[in-house]
Amino acid sequence: MLPYTKSSNINNLNILSNDETGALSCFNDFELLLFHILKGYDTCASREIIENLQIDKTVVEKFINKLNHEGWMRESRPNNYGGALDAVYVIVSELCNYNCKYCYIQPKINKRNQVTSYIETSIFAKIVEKVANFNPNAQILVTGGEPLLHPEFLKLIEILENRKLNFQVLTNGSKINDEIADKLSACNYLKNVQVSLDGTNDETNEITRGDTFAETVSGVDTLHKYNVPFTIAPTIHDGNVHLFQEMMLYSVDKGGGYTPNNYRKISDSDGSISLDYKKFMEILIDSENNLSHKQRNRLSTRNSQSIITLQSTRNLFCCGTGKSTLNIDMKGNVFPCHLLHETMFLLGNVIEESFASIICNPVLNDIRVHTYDIDECSDCHFMSICGGGCKAAVYKKYGRFDKPDPECSALKYGYELIFTGFPK
Ligand SMILES: C[S@@+](CC[C@H](N)C(=O)[O-])C[C@H]1O[C@@H](n2cnc3c(N)ncnc32)[C@H](O)[C@@H]1O
Ligand code: SF4
Ligand code: SF4
């Protein structure tokens, strides 16, 4: 067991970490004492001290398991950066019937000739085939624009079902009717329909998504009626962050899960939208702490990774973008993620090239920089769980990738809260 290389005391709790292995723990004073006993001596000496102090054996065993889980028994950093092609986003329509203020894809929609703005079904089929051949356990995320505007949307779903590939649909919910919900309910490989909704009433949803609340809720209710698995996915900004928990309970009440995402400013998005990340972290962590056992179970079985795993994600030394997550446009062009959809980040074309060569494109060398190779991050307790934050946001701010997330201080604050709790 290696010693810690960094320690700090926050709210009377001790955060310890090791740069070489990414081990990270938060101990109370008794645990810190136990840690010192176990780390500093050979097993016999430790056993003797523990016996003399009359510490219960099961307490020691439990503590050793915790140390193991939190990385103290390893000699080096684990090689655990996610599998290749875990999640592949495919844009099937660049058209949209909404005009959300923040939308990162909206500028494109406005520039396009509307007639050619759907993926050709044959191209979609080729993408699906290639993904399934490369990783049969991959998940396809059918997105847009609004994917349900695709004139052959149900055919696209059939292709995924026939190829037995797990998938999700990301939608604004406006086109979900009985026929669509009925077809979706019969799917074996549909894991989730993610419906975007930014509030629990007209006023809050309207700030960003226009006068669309009733239509979207009707789509959600129809999914519920047909027992289709769904999550509600608000994009959190200053105008709805106070409703975070209310929206979560609203989703659970309607029979769904919750997959919130945080607003990210893109150059063309509306300047009136903003997000105070510190406040967001506080509300996020508080809401997660307040979940009942039943709600927690419901949310975790409904694929609500963003909040449920916040406290357990470990060994994430770099962003999975460009390997475990890819984004494919309507011509089969592959990009690392939806926010890095520019020619300079084009990794290849999936119709013409293999995924094996696409995910080795040297463009990714800079993007997938490890946290321990970023000066500021290598000195941070949380480098093994943070991964350095959002690479697209880093690039937009600094024009390079080897810098910490622009919201780094809020992230650090949030991680400290997760580990040590709110000050009493
Ligand atoms: C681009 S939409 C496509 C699918 C569908 N039209 C919908 O609205 O869900 C996918 C998700 O991205 C979110 N989104 C769009 N622009 C964003 C931004 N600038 N920051 C964070 N999320 C954003 C939307 O709110 C939506 O939940
Ligand atoms: S519905 Fe989706 S794609 Fe359409 S403008 Fe809103 S966020 Fe963008
Ligand atoms: S981005 Fe900030 S919080 Fe995250 S690892 Fe780097 S320094 Fe730590």
User: Which of 16, 38, 70 marks a domain boundary?
Assistant: 70
Residue of the CA atom closest to atom 7 of ligand 3: 377
Give a yes or no: residue 362 inside a domain: no
- Is 307 among the domain residues? yes
Task: Write down the mean pLDDT value for the chain.
Answer: 87
270 and 406 share one domain:
no
**Relative to the CA of 146, which ligand 2 atom is closest?**
3
Looking at 315, 349, 380, the residue that finishes a domain is: 315
Assess whether 218 and 278 both reside in one domain: yes
The answer to whether 169 touches 223, Cβ cutoff 8 Å, is no
**Rounded distance from Cα 406 to ligand 2 centre (Å):** 25
What's the pLDDT at 112?
Answer: 47
For residue 371 and ligand 1, the question of a CB distance below 6 A is answered with: no
Ligand 3 mutation target, pool 372, 379, 405, most atoms within 8 A of CB? 405
Mean pLDDT value across residues 244-267 = 86
Establish if 353 belongs to a structural domain. Answer: no
User: Using 50, 70 and 90 to split pLDDT, how confident is the model at 40?
Assistant: low
Report whether pLDDT(408) > 50: yes
Whether residue 323 is contained in a domain is answered as no
What is the secondary structure of 329-349 as a DSSP string?
A: -TTSEEESSTT--SGGG--EE
- Percentage with pLDDT > 90 across the chain: 54
In terms of domains, do 91 and 66 share one? no
Distances (CA, A) of 225 to 170, 254, 302: 19, 10, 16
Query: For the chain, what is the domain count?
Result: 3
pLDDT band at residue 206, thresholds of 50, 70 and 90? very high
Name the 3-class secondary structure at 234. Answer: coil
- Alpha helix ranges (H) inside 266-359: 277-289, 293-301, 305-308, 355-358
pLDDT for the residue 304? 43
Rounded distance between C-alpha atoms, residue 424 and residue 419, angstroms? 14
Write the DSSP symbol of residue 147: G
Q: Is the CB of 174 under 6 A from ligand 1?
A: no
Structural contact between residues 138 and 132, judged by C-beta atoms closer than 8 angstroms:
yes
Asked if residue 103 is part of any domain, the answer here is yes
Pocket test for ligand 2, best of 101, 109, 146 (most atoms within 8 A of CB): 146
Of 103, 149, 211, the one to substitute when testing ligand 2's pocket (max ligand atoms within 8 A of C-beta) is: 103
266 CB within 6 A, ligand 2: no
Give the type of residue at 52: N
User: Ligand 1 center to residue 37 CA distance, Å?
Assistant: 51
Residue 217 CB less than 6 A away from ligand 2: no
Statement to judge: residues 10 and 92 lie in one domain: no
| Parent domain of 45 | 6-70
The Cα–Cα gap between 129 and 351 comes to: 10
pTM of the model: 0.90
- Confidence at residue 331, expressed as pLDDT on a 0 to 100 scale: 95
Residues 94 and 243 in one domain: yes
Residue 369 C-alpha to ligand 2 middle, in angstroms?
31
What stretches of 18-149 adopt beta strand conformation (E)? 24-27, 87-93, 139-144
Residue 123 has pLDDT above 60, yes or no: yes
CA 71 – ligand 1 centroid, Å: 36
Q: Is the pLDDT of residue 345 over 80?
A: yes
Last residue of a domain, one of 26, 45, 70: 70
Sequence-separated (6 or more) residues with CB below 8 Å from residue 213: 197, 199, 201, 202, 205, 206
Return all residues near 179 (Cβ < 8 A) that are at least 6 apart: none
Ligand in closest contact with the CA of 382: 3
Q: Are 388 and 377 in contact (CB under 8 A)?
A: yes
Is any ligand 3 atom within 6 A of the Cβ of residue 405?
yes
Q: Is residue 332 part of a domain?
A: no
132 and 253 assigned to the same domain: yes
Read off the pLDDT of residues 352-386 as tens digits, 9 standing for 90 and up: 999 999 999 999 989 989 889 999 999 899 888 88
Provide the pLDDT for residue 324: 85
The answer, yes or no, to whether any atom of ligand 1 lies below 6 A from the CB of 205, is no
CA distance 305 to 308: 5
Please work out whether the CB of residue 277 comes within 6 Å of at least one atom of ligand 1: no
Nearest ligand, CA 379: 3
Residue 388 lies in a domain: yes
Beta bridge partners of 118: 93
Q: For residue 234, what pLDDT band results from cuts at 50, 70 and 90?
A: very high
Q: Which atom of ligand 1 is nearest to the CA of 266?
A: 19
Q: Which tops the pLDDT comparison, 322 or 180?
A: 180
pLDDT at position 347 is 96
Shared domain for 102 and 213, answered yes or no, is: yes
Shared domain check, 165 and 65: no
CA of 287 to the centre of ligand 3 (A): 23
Within this chain, do residues 223 and 284 fall inside the same structural domain, yes or no? yes
Nearest atom within ligand 3 for CA of residue 381: 8
Confirm whether 345 is domain-assigned: no
Is 208's C-beta closer than 6 angstroms to any atom of ligand 2? no
Q: Which two tokens stand for residue 133?
A: 């051949």
- The CATH number covering residue 201 comes to 3.20.20.70
Q: Are residues 265 and 390 in the same domain?
A: no
Q: How far is CA 104 from CA 86, 145, 211, 237, 419, in A?
A: 23, 10, 19, 15, 33
CA 163 vs CA 141, 153, 154, 166: distances in Å: 15, 16, 14, 9
Q: Tell whether 236 and 125 lie within a shared domain.
A: yes
How many Cβ atoms from other residues are within 10 Å of residue 182's Cβ?
13
Query: Which among 90, 102, 237, 337 is the best mutation to test ligand 1's pocket, defined by most ligand atoms within 8 Å of the CB?
Result: 102
Say yes or no: 95 and 182 in one domain.
Answer: yes
Ligand 2 centroid distance, CA of 58 (Å): 53
From 195, 196, 211, 215, mutation site for ligand 2 pocket: most ligand atoms within 8 A of C-beta:
196
